[in-house]
Every structure is written in C-alpha cells, then in structure tokens.
Structure 1
Amino acid sequence: MPRFAANLSMMYTEHDFLDRFAAAAEDGFQAVEYLFPYEHDAEELRRRLDDHGLQQVLFNAPPGAWQSGERGIAALPGREAEVLSGIGRALEYAAALDCPRVHVMAGLVPPGATPEQQVECRATYTANLARAAEQAAAAGVDILVEPINRRDMPGYFLTTQAEAHAVVREVGAPNLKVQLDLYHCQIVEGDLTTTLRRDLPTGRVGHLQIAGVPDRHEPDRGEVDHGHLFDVVDDLGFDGWIGCEYRPRAGTSEGLGWLKNYRGDSA
C-alpha cells in the first residue's frame, strides 16, 4: 500500500509548527515533510521526530530570499556559490534529521528572458545540480527537482516532467531524481496514469506529492481520481513516500476521511 507523509507546512496549521509533529502522529502518519527547517534548531526537530515515532522524508534546500519572492536560485546565473552553501546547510540538517531527500528549487526566470538567457539558465541549473548531487552523494542523500505549474508560480524555470527527466538524464548522477507532484502535473499536462506508468519504472522518480485539483485542498474531490492513482502507484511497486502537500478546507484531522477510506478499501 502507498505510504503517505504529512506536509507540515500546509497541514495542521491550526497548531504551532513544532506541535504539528504530535498532531500528525496522532492521526496515524508515520512520516512528515515540509518546506524548510532552518528557522528551528535541528536538535529540537530531531526530538519531535523521535518523540512521536516519525520519519523525516523531505525538505527543501534554502531557496534564496523567499520572503522577497524568490523561489529557488539553482537556475540563476551568478548565484552558484550561494547554491552550494545552501546545499551544505541542507545536508547538515539532513544528517541531523536522518532525511534521505532534499529538493533543490530552480527559481524564477526573469520576464522576457531571451532564448540565450534561457540556455544560460539551463546550463547553470545542470551544473549546480551536478555539484549538489556530488556533495549529497557522500552523505547518502538524494537531490530532487520538481516541475511546478506557472499558474501557482509564474515564471518558474522547470514546469514539465519531460524537462525534469531530461535534466536528470543529462546530469547522470544516480542520486539526482524527480519529485513528481501530481497536482502540478495535472495542471500543466494531465495524463497522470500514463505519466506514472511511464516514469515510475525508470527509477528516476524519488518522491510523489498530491493535492486536489484545481483548489489544492484534500484529494477527495475535483478533477482527479486519486484512489485510482494510488492503486496505480501500488501496482507499480513504488516504495517511496507520497507527500500530502495540500491546504485542508477546514480542520486537518477532520479532512482525513479520504485517507481513512482508502486504507479501509485496501485492507
């Protein structure tokens, strides 16, 4: 059966961040993910994980000036030193939290970028990812790249599964993988069942994420049949995690009927 991780950046926001670990464990989650750990001491996060029997399965590397609107810097020429410094910091947290995956955000391409600038961004991106993957390999950590839809994040550099897999193949590092968010994929290109059947067997997908489409609430309504997709993932033998990166319509615990129903249907 697929394994689900609570995304503590979006779920359980009715609690203070450090209290979300206990709330997720109380609801039966065995793993968590979130955007960034850096505002909190790694030892305190480790205690929360241990106290509640949770695994940390994913977080993001430092994304640049997030509060000012930056959404990653790995594809931005001239920021290479900052990228590598951020990877180093992320790997320190990954070691403390025993987290095997770090997502490196590409960043936003300036409006009106010329084809030449696009080429320069891609070359910067692949070079930074190669260095990040090499640095992470020594720590036993996978580096992930995620296509993100431009409706939610206008100007984001990486948007399609084909682009992401092409980058992973070009870099050629065994610990560089794709983070397949089915919410973003549905908005950009759809055809989710075919995408899963095509890409999961390649071994290049390191993590999945879900949310209802189009509103990014619970995956129990909207235009995607998530129960069907979970069965496809199960049939394909994917042994990674599915991150629940959605905004609950009301209380987080009250909205988990979809998960209870799926687990009951699969029992």
Structure 2
Amino acid sequence: MPKFAANLTMLFNEVPFLERFAAAANVGFNAVEFLFPYPYKIAELSDRLQQNRLKLVLHNLPAGDWDAGERGIASLPDRVSEFQDGVGRAIEYAKALKVPQLNCLVGIRKGVDADKTRSTIVDNLRFAATALKLEGIKLLVEPCDSYDIPGFALNRPSEALDVIRATGSDNLFLQYDIYHMQRTEGELAATIKKNLPLIAHIQLADNPGRNEPGTGEINYPFLFEFLDSLGYGGYIGCEYKPHTATAEGLGWLKSIDRSSYAK
C-alpha cells in the first residue's frame, strides 16, 4: 500500500498550523506535506518535524499572492523574474528541511494567448527543473480542475505531460491529484497506469465535496489495491477537507488492512 502523508494545509484546521505536526503524528502519520513553508522560519519547521519524527515529503514553489486568488505564476510572462527568485527560495527551504520534491502550480491565465502561456510555462519549468536537479530535488507539475480553479492553465494530465516533454528535462514529473482528475476527466485507473513512470506524487480527496475517502463517488479501496498492484511506491498526500474533525474522519485509513500493506 502506498504511504500516506497528512496535508497540514487541509487537515487539523481546528488547531494552529505549527501544532498540526504533533496532531498528525498522534493519529499515526509519519509523513506530512503542505502548500507553503515560507510564512515560517526554517528552524521552527525543522523543530516540529524532528520533535514528531515526521518526514516532509512535499511543498510547493512560491505561487504569488494566494490570498488574492493567485494560484501560481509560472504561466505569466511578466512574472518570470519573480518565478526564478521563488525557485531559489524554495530550494533554500527544501534543502534545510530535506524535502525530496517540490510541486509547481502554474497559475491562472490572465489575458495571454494560449501559445505564449504554454511557452512561458515550458521555459519556467525547464529553469526550475534544472536548478532543482543540481540540488538533488525533483520538480513536479500539477494539473488542476477548472471548476475549483477557473482559468487554471493546465487541467489534464495530457496537458501537463505535453509541457514536461517540451522541457526536455529528466527532472520534471507529474503530480496526480485524484480529486482534481475525477472532476476533470475520470478514467483514474487507466490514466495512472499509462503514466505511472512519470507520476512522482499522488494526492487524494473524494468527490463531490472534497472530503475524506468514503464520503463520495470514488472507489478508494479499489484504487489503493490497484496502485499496490502497479508497484507505486510514492506517497499519497491526504489533501481533503475533513467532513467534521480530522481525527473523527480517519476511519477510511484505519480500515485499510495493514497486515498486507506497508505503511
């Protein structure tokens, strides 16, 4: 069974962020992920990880003004310098916190034609993938559905794979979010199997509602066994909105037969 990481941006919202590390460890997680480390000092994040014996498996590159609705800047031709500066900042955090891979949200198209948007994404991803490779860190790119993020520049795995190929980089991979891809196109198992060599990280939530597995239409018991049969060895980030409190909604995780799967 793939290993699970608690997404601290989404889970344990009932407690302040820095207390979520202990909350995740207390319910059995040994790995975490979250959107952005940048509001916090490296030392305080490192302390929380060490105190709770947690591994940080993923965070994102800087993505612009999140509170103002920006969801990445890699698609914006007039923000290239800012993007490149953000890559350097992300590397600083990732090296200090021993993060093996970083995700890039490419952002929302803003009055730029499709060809220019694509070429900007390709150039920025090539730059970031090259910089990260020098540090031994993988770069991921994530397609997102257009219902939750209208105007997002990459919606389907095929679109993300197209820009991956266009960069010519061997250090750029796909982050496959099951929730986003169920809303976009379905065909979850077939798409994962077809593209498994380039999938470096998976995230989950059920649909509709983006709540925990078992609250919607996605057959997660099947998908977990399917991923195991494929030999997927990466983490699955639990990036969902708890229907109630996080700990109360972990029945899906506790129900998995741990005797036949590795945590």
Normalising by structure 1, report the TM-score.
0.95
1:165 paired to 2:167: no
Rounded to whole Å, the distance in 2 between the matches of 1:168 and 1:61 is 17
- Greater CA drift, 256-265 or 8-17: 256-265
Unpaired runs of 5+ residues, structure 1, are none
- The one-letter code of the counterpart of 2:204 is I
Correspondences of 1:91-170 after superposition (within 5 Å): 91-110=91-110, 117-170=113-166
- Number of the residue aligned with 1:217: 211
- Number of the residue aligned with 2:231: 237
Rounded to whole Å, the distance in 1 between the matches of 2:33 and 2:149 is 20
- Number of the residue aligned with 2:58: 58
- Number of the residue aligned with 1:192: 188
Unpaired runs of 5+ residues, structure 2, are none
Q: Deviations over 1:77-134 (max 9, x none)?
A: 11111001001000100011100111111111126x5xxx110010010001001011
Rounded to whole Å, the distance in 2 between the matches of 1:263 and 1:250 is 24
How far off its partner does 1:172 sit? 2.1
- The one-letter code of the counterpart of 2:86 is G
How far off its partner does 1:264 sit? 4.5
Contact 1:217 1:247 in 2 (8 A): yes
Secondary structure at the counterpart of residue 4 of structure 1: strand
- The one-letter code of the counterpart of 1:175 is N
Contact 2:76 2:110 in 1 (8 A): no
Secondary structure at the counterpart of residue 237 of structure 2: strand
Normalising by structure 2, report the TM-score.
0.97
Are residues 247 and 265 of structure 1, via their aligned partners in 2, closer, same or farther at CA, if it must alter by over 3 Å?
farther
How far off its partner does 1:223 sit? 1.1
Rounded to whole Å, the distance in 2 between the matches of 1:263 and 1:129 is 39
- The one-letter code of the counterpart of 1:194 is A
- Number of the residue aligned with 2:76: 76
Rounded to whole Å, the distance in 2 between the matches of 1:236 and 1:170 is 27
How far off its partner does 1:48 sit? 0.6
Secondary structure at the counterpart of residue 256 of structure 2: helix
Rounded to whole Å, the distance in 2 between the matches of 1:85 and 1:263 is 45
How far off its partner does 1:221 sit? 2.4
- The one-letter code of the counterpart of 2:200 is G
The CA RMSD over aligned residues, in Å, is 1.1
Contact 1:25 1:54 in 2 (8 A): yes
- Number of the residue aligned with 1:247: 241
- Number of the residue aligned with 1:20: 20
Identity among equivalent pairs (%): 46
- The one-letter code of the counterpart of 2:154 is L
Q: Deviations over 1:28-55 (max 9, x none)?
A: 1110000111111011101111111110
Q: Deviations over 1:57-94 (max 9, x none)?
A: 01111111112111100011111110010010001000
Rounded to whole Å, the distance in 2 between the matches of 1:231 and 1:22 is 29
